[in-house]
Amino acid sequence: MNFLKKILYSEEPLEFNIRQQIYKKNHIKIIKIYVFFIKLFRLTYKSYQRFFLRPKTRHLFQRLEKIFFIRKYKIYKSIDLEKKKKELNNNGYLEINSIFTDFELKETFKYLSTDHLLEPIYTNHKKFNLKQPPSGVKTGYIDTHLLVKSKYILKAANNPNLLNILKSYFGCSFKLDWVWAWWSFPSNELAGPQLFHRDYESMNFLKVFVYLSDVDEFNGPHEYIIGSHKIDKLYKRERFSDQLINENFQKDKIFTIKGKRGKTFIANTFGIHRGLQPKNKKRLVLVYLFSVVPSNRSPKLPVLTRNELEFDLKEKNINSLFVKSK
């Protein structure tokens, strides 16, 4: 019984509190059984997809997985779309137009700059307020509940241009899997994702990054090694030193991504990447995860109804992990 409870109520960092969600529902026993089997499947899938680490082997299983999730979406095809798909496939990285309007960016930045409690994750600090970050803290994550209940963040995830690119890239059914936003604080030391690494969120996945503050070489640009998602080098589940990176990849393959607020790019973060530590100003970034098979972290029960949204939701299936269909 304790083992079953451990599976049911175990949580990854930042994951929604499933215990609270369950006890807000009717038919609690049925919901518990439903959630248990979802969690069991996702834990099993997590172990399975992290077993195949070599990029070329992983690519074969990615293609097999897509066969089981075939779904025909309406795609607005064009020569430009084919170029973007090819670039994303080959490089693992693609810059796109902003998915927010200027007004939405300003309002979202203002919303996320209020004094919310932040989760440090990669250091031993307790939760803290944005205006009073403790000494030595490097990152502070915003509660995902606050993100999805904001006025524009889910709307931006449904930007038609973005979804058209994702539909073309995946070529099968996929879902909005998770949303993060975090502040990075100035420091001379690197920790966690500020060291080069690969992500293993799911077998087929992409992340969409949006800079919500201006980012130059001094305040935490993202770095991505072009084409590394396909290269059989440095594929162990660990952090990689600069020395290892320089020994295995040419300097012109290490791409530093700078830009003004609103800068948006898609990345296959199975490719080697990192977010540099800011030197002089804190940085705010928003990240969406889209995947074919939901990651272990993704919602087990939707946290929103369509009535709570302030935009017309057209892609019900893509948003079904977060938004209840009825």
Give the chain's domains with CATH numbers.
Answer: 2-324 (2.60.120.620)
The pLDDT value given to residue 95: 98
pLDDT for the residue numbered 136: 85
Cβ proximity of 282 and 219 under 8 Å? yes
Q: What whole-number distance in Å separates Cα of residue 301 and Cα of residue 7?
A: 15
- Would you mind telling me the total number of residues written for the chain in this entry? 326
196 near 245, Cβ under 8 Å? Answer: yes
At 73 the pLDDT is 84
pLDDT at 270: 98
**pLDDT in the model for residue 119:** 92
User: Can you list the residues of the chain whose pLDDT is less than 50?
Assistant: none
- Contacts of residue 93, defined as CB under 8 A and 6 or more positions apart, other chains included, come to 87, 224, 226, 255, 265, 266, 267, 268, 271
* pTM over 0.85, yes/no: yes
Q: What is the pLDDT of residue 28?
A: 82
